[in-house]
Amino acid sequence: MKIKTLKPSYMDEFSCIADSCEDTCCGGWGIQVDKKTFKEYNKLKKKSKKDKDFFTNNIIKNNHSKNQFDFGVIRLDVNGNCAFLNNDRLCSIVLEYGADALCETCKKFPRQFSYYKSSNIQEVSLSSACPEATRKIIGNNKKISFNVSEENKFNLLSYVQNNDSSSLDLYAFEIRMTIIKILQSELYLLKEKIQLVGLLCNKLIKEKNIHFVPQLLIDFESVLQTKINIPRESLNSKFSFDLMQLIISTKRSTNIKFNSYIKDVSEIIGINEDEFNKMKIELKDIDDKVNDIYKFSLENYLVNYVYKNNFPMKNNDLVYNYYLFVIHFSLIKLMLMAQFKKNGGISKDTLVGVIYSVGRALEHDSKYFISIISEMKIQNLYSIQHAMLIN
């Protein structure tokens, strides 16, 4: 069955570079096996002793399965790598049985799929948790654009629009596309665009009649025609410093590159509050410095984040989603600040390394953000307005 499919321009340029990649997607996180593939592996185990030995104890039934896509899991070795990853960093399943024998998780990554009921359109995107995908996402001095084609219906969806006529989710597609227009505007600095996104989210939260949302979006897009002054307050320096300390101390990842960048942040700009504030002044426009050198790179990262994560309507919690959006980007900025100070500049490899390491370490770790959000709530700092001030 063919269905209208929206995809970013970079999708046609991406392909896995396998053992040439500086990292592996075959470790560092759990790997789920769908029910259909799990049963195929069980059939293969009965073919011969060799096949039985190959799969036995390496494919485990998930007793806490919630759907057909997490029916089983692949055993990880002592290093946290997939049991089927060989010494040449290649997949033994592919080498023995071909790529068609892979489970859905391994076939699709780093691709993600969504479906919007209101417009009957499916989407595909790439996750920045893959270094090669990150290179395609941040692009080659050009903005991300989107193409529409007719493709077979996807069967592994990370998001399906609720389409509830009494919920903002009814306009999830339109809201997200307005946000992408904001992020791609030429009128504002990147930090100003992030604030505009916050202002829009705040307006959406306050709107009581969801059927006024289309007009609200049209009215808001007027700021993309004529630049406005964005009101900005400053939180005290202690809050900014404490938040930075919370961000960098909350997570310890198995990803070596991520931990290295975090260590640099802690040592270079996290020594004390005075040093931190001095560094913020010195490198306050680090995002725009990077964007000047690598045109549209950070803008493209944010556009892809919004597109891939169905921002801000996923789970219908706009405050939580905006906080995540800002914290992701703030962490990337902290890492770039540290690298800029350490090396006197930022190479393309460093830019890719920072972005992908954040995606790799944090994208699939809700506990990291829950702990930070919980602290914000304790301090009564959990609102769109407070999140806007982090940037």
Q: Which residues pair with 152 in a beta bridge?
A: 2
Report the pLDDT value the prediction gives residue 68, as an integer from 0 to 100: 83
Report the pLDDT value the prediction gives residue 232, as an integer from 0 to 100: 62
3-state secondary structure string across the chain: CEEEEEEEHHHHHCCCCHHHCCCCCCECCCCEECHHHHHHHHHHHCCCHHHHHHHCCCEEECCCCCCHHHCEEECECCCCEECCECCCCCEHHHHHHCHHHCCHHHHHCCEEEEEECCCCEEEEEECCCCHHHHHHHHCCCCCCCEEEEEEECCCCCCEECCCCCCCHHHHHHHHHHHHHHHHCCCCCCHHHHHHHHHHHHHHHHHCCCHHHHHHHHHHHHHHHCCCCCCCCCCCCHHHHHHHHHHHHHHCCCCCHHHHHHHHHHHHHCCCCHHHHHHHHHHCCCHHHHHHHHCCCHHHHHHHHHHHHCCCCCHHHCHHHHHHHHHHHHHHHHHHHHHHHHHHCCCCHHHHHHHHHHHHHHHCCCHHHHHHHHHHHHHCCCCCHHHHHHHC
Report the pLDDT value the prediction gives residue 240, as an integer from 0 to 100: 61
* C-beta of residue 257 within 8 angstroms of C-beta of residue 359: no
For the chain, 391 residues long, the average pLDDT of each consecutive 10-residue run is: 91 87 83 91 90 89 85 89 90 92 90 87 92 91 91 80 76 94 93 92 90 93 89 55 71 75 82 71 71 84 94 88 88 87 89 91 73 82 80 63
Sign of the torsion angle spanned by Cα atoms 12, 173, 106, 299? positive
What is the pTM for the complete model shown?
0.88
Report the pLDDT value the prediction gives residue 380, as an integer from 0 to 100: 82
* C-beta of residue 326 within 8 angstroms of C-beta of residue 387: yes
